[in-house]
Amino acid sequence: MSKRILIVDDEPHVLEVIRVTLEDFGFELMEAMDGETVFQIVSDAPPDIILLDVNMPRKDGYQVCSELKQNPSTRHIPVILITVRNQPEDLRTGREAGADGYLTKPFTPLALLSELHEHLKLGVV
């Protein structure tokens, strides 16, 4: 059974880059363009991991991550924050929200795959 990945980003080109990177690896990909939509998708078809942009309309990635990690039915899902923010306070805010990982944009396909492999326990890239 393939691993299900939820990609959440309000920038269509970022969704496309991630989709193109991952589609050949057999992952089942789901997409959302805002933080509010995440909760509906997660309740309908829980992913194995979430790639979550920090800067989004309606609800930012830190809020979404925090809510996911506070909910007993979703706290086990690894959340990888993806963002252009890379200052120590940004990393700290992500950790405090419960993020399992942090990718700074722009990232390489290898960095993305390595992060997924680490959290999905798929082995070495």
Is residue 52 a contact partner of residue 79, using CB atoms and an 8 Å limit? Answer: yes
Closest by CA to 7, choosing from 92, 112, 98, 84, is 112
Residue-wise pLDDT tens digits, 60-101: 999 999 999 999 999 999 999 999 988 889 889 999 999 999
Q: How many CB atoms lie within 10 A of CB 9?
A: 25
Q: Are 45 and 4 contacting, i.e. CB atoms less than 8 angstroms apart?
A: yes
**Cα end-to-end distance, the chain, whole Å:** 19
| pLDDT reading at 121 higher than 60 | yes
| Per-chain mean pLDDT for the chain | 92
**pLDDT > 80? residue 1:** no
Domains of the chain, first to last: 4-120 (3.40.50.2300)
Task: Tell me the whole-structure pTM to 2 decimals.
Answer: 0.93
